[in-house]
Structure 1
Amino acid sequence: MNETLLLIGDRAVSTGEAVIAVAGLFFLILLVMTVALWRNARARAEAEAAAAERGHEMEARIADLLKTQSEMTGRMQTMAEVFGSRQSDLTRALAERLDGLGHRLGQSMSQSSKDTQTNLSQLNERLALIDRAQKSIQDLTGQVSGLQQVLANKQTRGAFGQGRMEAIISDGLPAGSYTLQATLSTGTRPDCLIHMPNEAPGLVVDAKFPLEGFTRFREAETPERAQQAAQQVRRDISKHVQDISERYFIPGETQDTAFLFVPSEAIFADLHEHFDDIVQKAHRARVVIVSPALLVLSIQIVQTVLRDVRMREEALVIQREVAHLADDTNRLRDRVLKLQNHFGQATKDVEQILISSDKIIKRGGKIEALEFDDVPRDGETGRSSSQNAAE
């Protein structure tokens, strides 16, 4: 047993020591295993206890869940009943709304149908108006073509301008305030002579505007032809303005200004747009180029002047009549004063008469109040003294 079994470093280990060490190691291992088994048993017991507690808790939770489930079931039934009743109400409300919507939709459809029929009828009426307007435009086109044919001829064009000028003047002025084709002292005959008020010189209106150059100017296809036509327009208008100033300006008989009538607004606009130098030259020569609209405005101004002159004349007549009326009023006042004096005297006489009548009435009252012995008493005869006095 004391034999050396092994060497550990410098120390020799005997067999007995080795056996003891092995036995101690075995005992230590056994002790460790016992402790481990005890710990495992304890842990298992604790786990079983915990599991039991958990089982109780699970049972309690399951009971709570069952209770909650039963409550939820009751609530679900209640909600199902509520939802059922609400669903029936909703179904009824939806049915009522659908019925109302169908009714309104039917009314809307009928109203839309009526509106559509009304719009179609109005559309038919408008189409009829458009047809009539188109027919009128076609007629107007024919009239314009006829007007172009009229304006193509110089004589008919002059007659057209003369007629339009006469229509404007005759519509705006009274019959005695103008003369057509009047003969002046020099033997010339303007198209119209407007008589001015207060024996002032007359105003000459000429309607023979040259249009040949304008026709060529509008129909020119090249700039060269347009330039040639423009030169012709300038020559014709300058020559016509000079003729008017030489023939119709007579001192003391006509005004030193004359009107040159253009029968077309379009030509008047082209004249001011393309030939402003000719217009200014005519103004310097005291020849005013007027369109139909300007002639109407000028005639209205002349009519206003004539009306003012007539009003002044009538005002003088009214003034004379007012003076006579004032004289008559003064005479009437004198006569009324005299009548007032007579009435005053008559009033005084009436007052004197009233005073005398009051005195007579007072004296009659005194006489009535007197009593006489031979007159019976009122009680004896049953008659009053006043009745006796009356008899």
Structure 2
Amino acid sequence: MELILLVLLIAILIMLVVIYMKFNRSDSFARIEKGIEQNERELIASKSYHQSLAKSYEILLGELSKTKEYLGVSDAKLNLLTKTIRNMNDVMVNTKKRGNFGEYQLYHLLSLYLGHSSLLYETQYHLSNGKIADAILHIPNQKQVLCIDSKFPSENYLRLVDDPSSVIAQRELRKNVKKHIHDIAEKYIIPQETSEEAIMFIPSEAIYLYLWEEEPQLIEEAHRHHVMMTSPSTLMGVTMTLLAITKDFQRAQNIEKIEKQLISLKEDSDRMIQRYEKAYRSANTLIKQLDDLHISMDKVNGKIQGMYEGEEKDG
């Protein structure tokens, strides 16, 4: 969290540089720069997580007030920035809000990768055991769904960022992540209803990479319980694979449909050929009969003509 606040402080510093170039107030810039440097030292020296957050928050608001005083920043812009910082502070301190942030990011990424198709995924999915999965993925040609649950174990991770040697923070982080793994396996893997695996979505690339690099036993624990950990970037791989499988399945279904249509067309063609041959034979028979009738007509006509000519001679 302190790193995030430091980034915000640096962003404010850049804004002040631009305004400084416009108003050419070198004395104000020097004072603000000195204040930011002092803030960084105070943040680094702070050992308590919540105290550090609160202290950083108050310092930053103080700097914003100084910025307004020195450079005449409008109340509207200052209030907007203050509100943004306050909201971020609330999210990182409040466990429920951190969870909501993780869910929001999960929903946003799913809509980004898969669009808004209920054939591919659903959110807030109700299971038969009364649990509600943050999201589920529909696997082609299967009734079972693949559940996704968002977990954001940021508090102890940020303590580790503050103090990488903290044994307590490491132990608590392992404890939290292990509990998340067991909870997901218990709640979101149901025989005949869900897939044999479930996904734990971690909305922070930094925490995800830390677990893979520093806590391989947690990754193994997840595998033993059929829980797959994903981050925003690796979730894309999962969804793209699902999309490819779905397209292949639909293509296969179309091939089967085309094959059935071709078989039906072949049957119709064979039937048409049989009927044509029958009609052709009937037509040939009729033509032969017409030829025989024509011959008979010629004979009868010849006889009549001969009789008529004989009578004329006798007369």
**TM-score when normalising by structure 1:** 0.47
The sequence identity of aligned pairs, in percent, is 29
- Aligned-partner residue type, residue 100 of structure 2: A
**For 1:192, what is the secondary structure of its paired residue?**
strand
Provide the C-alpha distance between the structure 1 equivalents of 2:170 and 2:155, rounded to a whole number of angstroms: 11
Asked if the contact 2:200/2:229 (under 8 Å) is kept, the reply is yes
Q: CA deviation at 1:203?
A: 0.8
Provide the C-alpha distance between the structure 1 equivalents of 2:230 and 2:87, rounded to a whole number of angstroms: 21
Q: CA deviation at 1:180?
A: 1.3
| Deviations, residues 19-75 of structure 1 (Å, cap 9, x unaligned) | xxxxxxxxxxxxxxxxxxxxxxxxxxxxxxxxxxxxxxxxxxxxxxxxxxxxxxxxx
Provide the C-alpha distance between the structure 1 equivalents of 2:127 and 2:109, rounded to a whole number of angstroms: 22
Higher alpha-carbon deviation: 234-243 or 143-152: 143-152
**For 1:332, what is the secondary structure of its paired residue?**
helix
Provide the C-alpha distance between the structure 2 equivalents of 1:144 and 1:323, rounded to a whole number of angstroms: 65
| Deviations, residues 228-267 of structure 1 (Å, cap 9, x unaligned) | 1111100101111111112222111112211110112122
Partner of 1:240: 180
Partner of 2:124: 181
Question: Does 2:112 match 1:171?
Answer: yes
Provide the C-alpha distance between the structure 1 equivalents of 2:86 and 2:261, rounded to a whole number of angstroms: 59
Partner of 2:254: 314
Partner of 1:213: 156
Asked if the contact 1:209/1:260 (under 8 Å) is kept, the reply is no
Q: CA deviation at 1:207?
A: 0.4
Given candidates 284, 291, 298, the residue that maps to 2:231 is 291
Partner of 1:204: 147
Provide the C-alpha distance between the structure 2 equivalents of 1:347 and 1:299, rounded to a whole number of angstroms: 70
Provide the C-alpha distance between the structure 2 equivalents of 1:162 and 1:153, rounded to a whole number of angstroms: 14
**For 2:203, what is the secondary structure of its paired residue?**
coil
Provide the C-alpha distance between the structure 2 equivalents of 1:315 and 1:172, rounded to a whole number of angstroms: 26
Asked if the contact 2:151/2:203 (under 8 Å) is kept, the reply is no
Provide the C-alpha distance between the structure 2 equivalents of 1:295 and 1:147, rounded to a whole number of angstroms: 26
- Aligned-partner residue type, residue 205 of structure 1: I
Asked if the contact 1:197/1:306 (under 8 Å) is kept, the reply is yes
- Aligned-partner residue type, residue 186 of structure 1: N
- Aligned-partner residue type, residue 185 of structure 1: S
Gap runs ≥5 in structure 2:
1-13, 19-76, 291-315
- Aligned-partner residue type, residue 259 of structure 1: I
Q: CA deviation at 1:273?
A: 1.8
Gap runs ≥5 in structure 1:
1-133, 350-391
- Aligned-partner residue type, residue 237 of structure 2: L
Provide the C-alpha distance between the structure 1 equivalents of 2:153 and 2:209, rounded to a whole number of angstroms: 15
Provide the C-alpha distance between the structure 2 equivalents of 1:145 and 1:310, rounded to a whole number of angstroms: 47
Q: CA deviation at 1:325?
A: 0.9
Q: CA deviation at 1:312?
A: 2.4
Alignment of 1:235-274 (within 5 A): 235-274=175-214
Asked if the contact 1:264/1:292 (under 8 Å) is kept, the reply is yes
| Deviations, residues 311-334 of structure 1 (Å, cap 9, x unaligned) | 222222222211111122223334
Structure 1's 256 and 209: CA in aligned 2 closer, same or farther, altered over 3 A?
farther
Asked if the contact 2:98/2:152 (under 8 Å) is kept, the reply is no
Partner of 1:38: none
Asked if the contact 1:172/1:303 (under 8 Å) is kept, the reply is no
Alignment of 1:14-29 (within 5 A): none
**For 1:185, what is the secondary structure of its paired residue?**
coil
Question: Does 2:266 match 1:326?
Answer: yes
Provide the C-alpha distance between the structure 1 equivalents of 2:118 and 2:196, rounded to a whole number of angstroms: 24
| Deviations, residues 123-142 of structure 1 (Å, cap 9, x unaligned) | xxxxxxxxxxx77xx99xx7
Provide the C-alpha distance between the structure 1 equivalents of 2:160 and 2:148, rounded to a whole number of angstroms: 26
Provide the C-alpha distance between the structure 2 equivalents of 1:254 and 1:334, rounded to a whole number of angstroms: 53
Partner of 1:160: 101
- Aligned-partner residue type, residue 124 of structure 2: Q
Alignment of 1:21-60 (within 5 A): none
Aligned residue pairs total: 211
Asked if the contact 1:271/1:279 (under 8 Å) is kept, the reply is yes
Provide the C-alpha distance between the structure 2 equivalents of 1:154 and 1:187, rounded to a whole number of angstroms: 23
**For 2:254, what is the secondary structure of its paired residue?**
helix
Provide the C-alpha distance between the structure 2 equivalents of 1:232 and 1:216, rounded to a whole number of angstroms: 10
| Deviations, residues 252-300 of structure 1 (Å, cap 9, x unaligned) | 1112211110112122112212222212211122111111111111111
Asked if the contact 1:182/1:189 (under 8 Å) is kept, the reply is yes
**TM-score when normalising by structure 2:** 0.58
**For 1:175, what is the secondary structure of its paired residue?**
coil
Structure 1's 144 and 338: CA in aligned 2 closer, same or farther, altered over 3 A?
farther
